[in-house]
Amino acid sequence: MKMLAVTIGLCLVFVFVWERVDMVRLGYQVERLKHEKVVLERERDELKVKFSALSSPDRIAKVATEKFGMSLPQPGQVVMVQSKTKDSPASAVELRIARNDVLNGRR
């Protein structure tokens, strides 16, 4: 009986100490994860800025013209066609076609 009481007492002490140690360990883990979150947020912001810079119209126009040889459509090359369907007589849909592409059969 005495032995059992001592064992239970020791177990309780062990659980108490283990709980305390684990709390400290988890505390450090929480801090580490918080730090990781901050680092990841910083990386996200950095990528946002890079994405925004790379998708700038200035840069896209430069790449399109200098790298891919594209150019702005000349006057008359783009016409807006109002498509009238049975379902939408009010012509809600607009279709863009390039005039020279249509005439040359290139799409």
Mask for 21-60, x = binds other proteins (CB under 8 A): -------x--x--x-------x--xx-xxxxxx-xxxx--
61: Cα separation from own chain's centroid: 24
Tokens of 46: 């950095």
**DSSP structure string for 64-76:** IIIIS---PPPTT
Tell me the C-alpha distance between 86 and 107, whole Å. Answer: 26
Q: Does 89 bind other proteins (CB under 8 A)?
A: no
Interface residues with other proteins (CB under 8 A)? 28, 31, 34, 42, 45-46, 48-53, 55-58, 61, 72-73, 75-76, 78-82, 94, 96-97, 99, 102-103, 105, 107
